[in-house]
Amino acid sequence: MQFLVLRTLVLQLFLQDMIIYRFYLKLKLFSLHCIINFIIVYLI
């Protein structure tokens, strides 16, 4: 019984981590995109 509870907790934490990680990646990509756009606009 305790093993099951532990497993669900670990699974939940893992899922949360994945969601946060994906959000972080999107944010990084977005900021990179903005920086590149800014550089292009600044150069032209």
User: Rg of the Cα trace of the chain?
Assistant: 19
15 secondary structure, DSSP code = H
Q: Residue 6 sits in which domain range?
A: 1-44
The total domain count for the chain is 1
Tens of pLDDT, residue by residue, the chain (44 residues): 688 899 999 999 999 999 999 999 999 999 999 999 999 999 87
The vertex-12 CA angle with 6 and 13, nearest 5°, equals 90
pTM, two decimals, is 0.57
